[in-house]
Each structure stands twice: as C-alpha cells, then as structure tokens.
C-alpha cells in the first residue's frame, strides 16, 4: 500500500531520515489514518538536535570525580537561639505576605512501589488511611489558616500520571484547596536510545518516551506559563518537595527564613546519613561548587570516611526538599543548561517486523535531568540539617526499607513524640509501637500546635 503524505508530513519524514531516525516511520502503511496522525503529532514534538545531543551524552566517558569536599551544613541546634527565632519570624512573614508557593513533583511512575495509580493517591494514614495527597493538602489548609494567606499548590505530573492525578483532585473537590489553589501541569518527556543511538518504537505507531526527570521542572514551569503566573501572584519563593515523603513539613518557616535571609537562589534540606551504604544522594562541594552526588558516584572509601567529630564526611543526605527563588528558577529555565543523566534500562519495544520485544537486560539508555543540578548555578545557598525522624520517611518500595510500613511507623512515632512533648502521655515508650497513632495534619502543624490545642481544649 502506498500512502500519500502531505507536504508537511513528507518534510517531517525527510528530517527524521536525514537524522538517521527514519525507521520510526517504517510501519506507516500498517497504521490507520488516526494512528498515522498520532505518530506524526508525536514525532513533530521530538527535537532531533536534542536527540543527537543525547546520543553524544550516552557515548561520553563518565565525568572525572573532581575534588570533593563536604558542604557547609547549618544545624539548628548549633545556631544561636536568636538566629533561629529570627529565621522563623522571617519565614512566617513570607507566609503571612502570601509570597510562598508549594511545588510538588509527582511525575514518576512508582514502579518500585508497584502501585497502579499516582503515588500521591497511595493510602498512608496509619489510622485514617489518608493518602499522601491528603496529608499535603491538610498541611496546606492549616498553613492558610495559621498565616491568613494560602500557599498555592503546583503539581508537576507526567504523561504517565497526569490524567489520573487530575481526576483524583477533581473528584475530591480539590482536597479543600479550591480549584484556584491547585494547578497541575505536565513535565516533558525524553526518548530512549538503543546502542546505535536510534529511537525505539514502543509500538508500530508510537516512539518510546519517558518522563525527563524531576529536573524537567524548570523547563515545564516556563513552558506552561507558571513562572509568569508566580510573578503575577507575587509568589517569589517556591517550596519544592517530592510526592514520596510522608513527613515533609511543607513551607517550613525556619527553612524559608534561612534561605531568604541568605538571599539564596536554591537551598536544600538534608538529614545526617548514619549508614554509609544508605542510598541517598549527598550534598558536597565538587571543585568548589555545591552539588548533589548520587551514592553510586562515591567511592567506597569516600562513603566510609569520617571527620574528627565521628560524623560521615560525606553525610549530608539529600532529602529532595528545596527552597527555590522564583527568579532563580527562571534563570535556570532560560539557561537550559542542566545536564542529562544516562541510565541503562531494559526498554520494551517492537522489532523490525513489528513484533513486541521485552528485553531481560538493559538494551537502551534513558535520559533524565535532576533538579539538584541547578545547585551549582546559585551564588548563595543554605544546606539545612533536619532530624530524619521529624521530616523524612520516603515511600519507595513495596516492602522493607522505605516502604509504606516504615512511613506509617514514622508517622505514628512522630505523633507520639509531639504528644509527649506537650505533656500528653499516649502510653507508648521506646521505638517499638503497640498501636497506630495519627494527628490530623490540618489540626496540628507541629509539636507546638499540640500544646496549643490542648490549652484550647482545657482552658
């Protein structure tokens, strides 16, 4: 069968052929009109110059290790009391002036968790079964109540999670945040390349693409007009967090205040890594520039090395919470300089006959940008150490470490500690818990709130 192509379609096919990617159209004659239309629409969006750059990246040798030094980390218990108070007040002032937006990245596919839906819809409340999205929304409602101004929520989704996430929020009346209080936008996608630098077809009528990494957030904020919107709404600071952290203290005023006080472009929260083998990235200085290195990039000796205080020398564990100034985000987006990281993966595709192939071992390279690669671009930055048990309980795996079970236990333990600090004995001692405990995130924002609520209950 011969297919007649329009001039534009012919030009598109020619461009792909010249770039050595003409094979993506090899099944055109097997597709119906709608299938062809969909393939043309998809391929029109593929930037062939970028594909060539990605192919060069995949073939490049790994970067030199450089000269690593630990980052300077602020520890709240080592800060003078008045500095801490000043930071808190500064952060509270930012919130009271309505200058802070929350930015949630939720475009990942939750493959390790094995959950069939957006990760944020995963039920996690130890008692209530509240989902991660409900935890976040409860805290945002409480912040609006406490400071008198809302913290609007921006959620980055991807092709993989967008529809289901929109449906989740819509069908639950935007979780009480108002439709204007939540904005969902899609991140970009990136292709995978085989060992010859060729695009893969996931089906005869579709090129394989995957979310381009959380570092795609800068480009996506710009492309969807959100940076302009943030400016127009006076939202000068962005509190960035990941969908998988059940303990995240969204828009924590101390962090925002320290970041703002240092006129920082981008700041990071870290927890002290105690187990050298823990799989978190660490904030370091490489050749003088602040950076996150992934655990896989550190040598065994570097992972184990300790300073004179007995702490791991490279122990500032990245918990993927950042404060980002809106104008810095714009600078990063406009610069378009964040590198792509390569990962070898087994990518299902169709072969030259159109038959499906499910490779058992890696057959292609996927490309992702990482948000923390913007850190070296900021002149000033705060790296704030926080207590793991108060702020970091990621849900990554279905079982074992970093699973729903460990996150629920962390929520229960934190609730117990907050109650006990307020003088309310809940009859639990030590780390092992006998029953589940949960504090409504809208009712109590922090330990001090438990005391306040108790006073209200018995004046």
Segment 352 to 381, residues that bind ligand UD1, using CB under 6 A = 368, 370
Question: By C-beta, is 110 or 350 nearer to ligand UD1?
Answer: 110
CB 436 within 8 A of CB 126: yes
107 binds ligand UD1 (CB under 6 A): yes
140 binds ligand UD1 (CB under 6 A): no
156 binds ligand UD1 (CB under 6 A): yes
Strands 282-286 and 289-293: antiparallel
187 binds ligand UD1 (CB under 6 A): yes
CB under 6 A: which stretch of 19-27, 177-185, 196-204, 241-249 binds ligand UD1?
241-249
C-alpha–C-alpha distance, residues 76 and 418, integer Å? 18
We find the least distance from the C-beta atom of residue 164 to ligand UD1, in angstroms, to be 13
Range 410-417 contact pairs with CB under 8 angstroms and sequence separation of 24 or more = 410/246, 410/247, 411/124, 411/125, 411/126, 411/246, 411/247, 411/438, 412/126, 412/436, 412/437, 412/438, 413/389, 414/247, 414/389, 414/390, 415/439, 417/389, 417/447
Segment 275 to 314, residues that bind ligand UD1, using CB under 6 A = 280-281, 292
106 binds ligand UD1 (CB under 6 A): yes
Collapsed DSSP state (helix, strand, coil) of residue 244: coil
Question: By C-beta, is 174 or 295 nearer to ligand UD1?
Answer: 295
Segment 312 to 341, residues that bind ligand UD1, using CB under 6 A = 318-320
108 binds ligand UD1 (CB under 6 A): yes
142 binds ligand UD1 (CB under 6 A): no
CB 383 within 8 A of CB 74: yes
We find the least distance from the C-beta atom of residue 281 to ligand UD1, in angstroms, to be 3
Among 396, 408, 414, 416, binds ligand UD1 (CB under 6 A): 396
CB 375 within 8 A of CB 397: no
CB 134 within 8 A of CB 81: no
- Tokens representing 75 are 């520890």
Question: By C-beta, is 388 or 453 nearer to ligand UD1?
Answer: 388
Question: By C-beta, is 273 or 416 nearer to ligand UD1?
Answer: 273
CB 326 within 8 A of CB 266: no
Segment 190 to 209, residues that bind ligand UD1, using CB under 6 A = none
Total Cβ atoms within 10 A of residue 409: 17
- Angular region, 287: left φ>0, alpha ψ -120 to 50, beta rest: left
Site string for ligand UD1, 66-105 (x = CB under 6 A): ---------------------------------------x
404 binds ligand UD1 (CB under 6 A): no
Q: Which neighbouring-strand residues pair with 154?
A: 103, 183
Question: By C-beta, is 187 or 365 nearer to ligand UD1?
Answer: 187
Among 126, 205, 211, 253, binds ligand UD1 (CB under 6 A): 211
Where on the chain is the footprint of ligand UD1 (CB under 6 A)? 105-108, 156, 158, 187, 211-214, 242-244, 280-281, 292, 318-320, 368, 370, 394, 396
């Amino acid at each position: 069968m011969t297919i007649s192509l329009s001039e534009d379609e012919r030009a598109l096919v020619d461009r792909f052929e010249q770039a050595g990617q003409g094979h993506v159209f090899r099944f055109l004659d097997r597709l119906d009109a709608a299938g062809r239309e969909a393939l043309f629409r998809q391929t029109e969006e593929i930037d062939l110059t970028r594909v060539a750059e990605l192919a060069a990246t995949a073939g490049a040798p790994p970067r030199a290790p450089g000269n690593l030094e630990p980052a300077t980390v602020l520890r709240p218990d080592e800060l003078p009391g008045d500095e801490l108070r000043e930071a808190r007040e500064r952060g509270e002032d930012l919130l009271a002036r309505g200058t802070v937006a929350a930015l949630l990245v939720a475009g990942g596919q939750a493959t390790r968790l094995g959950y069939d839906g957006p990760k944020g819809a995963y039920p996690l409340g130890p008692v209530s079964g509240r989902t991660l999205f409900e935890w976040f929304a409860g805290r945002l409602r409480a912040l609006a109540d406490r400071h008198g101004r809302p913290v609007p929520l921006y959620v980055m989704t991807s092709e993989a999670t967008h529809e289901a996430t929109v449906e989740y929020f819509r069908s639950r009346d935007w979780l009480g945040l108002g439709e204007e209080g939540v904005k969902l936008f899609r991140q970009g996608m990136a292709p995978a390349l085989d060992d010859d630098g060729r695009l893969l077809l996931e089906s005869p009528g579709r090129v394989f693409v995957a979310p381009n990494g959380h570092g795609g957030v800068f480009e996506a904020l710009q492309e969807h007009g959100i940076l302009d919107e943030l400016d127009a709404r006076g939202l000068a600071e962005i509190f960035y967090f990941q969908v998988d952290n059940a303990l995240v203290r969204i828009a924590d005023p101390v962090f925002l205040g320290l970041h703002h006080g240092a006129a920082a472009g981008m700041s990071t929260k870290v927890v002290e890594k105690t187990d050298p083998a823990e799989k978190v990235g660490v904030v370091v200085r490489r050749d003088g520039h602040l950076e996150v290195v992934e655990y896989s990039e550190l040598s065994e000796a570097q992972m184990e090395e300790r300073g004179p205080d007995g702490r791991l020398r490279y122990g500032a564990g990245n918990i993927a919470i950042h404060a980002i100034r809106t104008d810095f985000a714009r600078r990063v987006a406009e610069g378009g300089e964040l590198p792509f990281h390569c990962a070898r993966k087994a990518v299902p595709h169709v072969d030259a006959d159109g038959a499906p192939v499910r490779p058992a071992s890696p057959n292609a390279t996927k490309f992702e940008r990482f948000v923390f690669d913007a850190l070296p671009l900021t002149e000033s930055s705060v790296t704030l150490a926080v207590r793991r048990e108060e702020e970091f309980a990621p849900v990554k795996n279905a079982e074992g470490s970093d699973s729903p079970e460990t996150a629920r236990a962390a929520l229960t333990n934190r609730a117990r500690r907050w109650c006990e600090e307020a003088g309310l004995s809940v009859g639990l001692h030590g780390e092992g818990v006998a029953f589940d405990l949960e504090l409504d995130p809208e009712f109590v924002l922090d330990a001090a709130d438990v005391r306040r609520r108790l006073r209200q209950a018995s004046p």
